[in-house]
Amino acid sequence: MAHVDPELVQDDPASQQGWRHDYVLTNGVRLHYVEAGDPDGELVLLLHGFPECWYSWRLQIDPLAERGLRVVAVDLRGFGRSEKPAGVSAYTLTTLAADVVGCVAQLNHGERAAAVIGHDWGGTIAWSVGSLYPHTTRRLAIANCPPGYALRRAWRIPRQLLRSWYIFFFQVPRLPELLLRLGNFRFVDQSLAPARQRNPRGVRPQDIAYVRTEMTRPGALTSGLNYYRALVRLRPADLRRLEQPVSVPTLLIWGDQDPYIDVRLTRDFLRWAPAGRLVHLPEAGHFSHQEEPARVNQLLIEWLAA
């Protein structure tokens, strides 16, 4: 791990909360993370989605840390203050899963498994880790991201194809970057607007502004889009590996008002994750962990303690 960058402790919400910044070198990339809790406690990795960063988990960090856990919220490769390798091939799911495995090995000194919690793309990566590296994970918890089998099933649901229009748009070179930069990256505000409407105290204007600022970092937008570009280029052999059932105990939290992902993709969840539990939040949307943090935190704490 590297020394803390002085930039990270100036006008930063993590420092204001007393959380610690650091970096870890894993799988050939330098990832930034924010840490809280007992350094000797059980490691819990928090993985964010697009278009966010570690800050997506601000409402979970302290409640989990107060339980004696070592909570590490990561900036995934390409996001925030983490390194941003060039090229679509740097963002395959197998590569992203290997990043997490390396994080666990580095932060735990290779001694024990960790709990991995993910949302959106972080959830996709968490599923991949559970399928490919079950020895790395003690438990999984995932918010609004369907299991690996949904990667193939999604294309057979017309309603989901309509909801996923942006994935196809993101395949166009350069044009998505040009359009998403308009209005000082206002697409970030638009993405988080439903969460703000449901929980204005937890998703404040300054919270959205921080996420937007992190997305404006050089290379961050293209890196984030490369996640989607790499997804549609997934090799059949890798897809079959990612569709393997998950033996790790897995909690799937689902906000039923999600405008991006059809709830039907959760069908057969327990067949695919037999040690799993599915909890629906009828009034929550895609950012369920920010929209209903008290309920989500309760679910996570109970799941991790089981």
Task: Report the C-alpha gap between 184 and 166 in whole angstroms.
Answer: 19
**Does the active-site annotation cover 228?**
yes
Which residue is catalytic, options 91, 149, 227, 228? 228
Closest by alpha carbon to 107, among 34, 48, 50, 8? 34
CA–CA dist 36, 187 (Å, integer) = 30
Nearest to 285 by CA among 264, 253, 257, 254: 257
Active-site residue (options: 120, 207, 258, 262) = 120
Phi, psi of 34 (to 5 degrees): -115, 135
Give the three-state DSSP class for 255. strand
Cis ω before 274 (30° cut-off from 0): no
Q: Name residues whose C-beta falls within 8 Å of residue 267's C-beta, 6 or more positions apart in sequence.
A: none
* Contacting residues for 186 by C-beta, under 8 A, at least 6 apart: none
- 120 labelled catalytic: yes
Q: Among residues 21, 32, 48, 286, which one is catalytic?
A: 286
Residues annotated as catalytic are 120, 228, 286
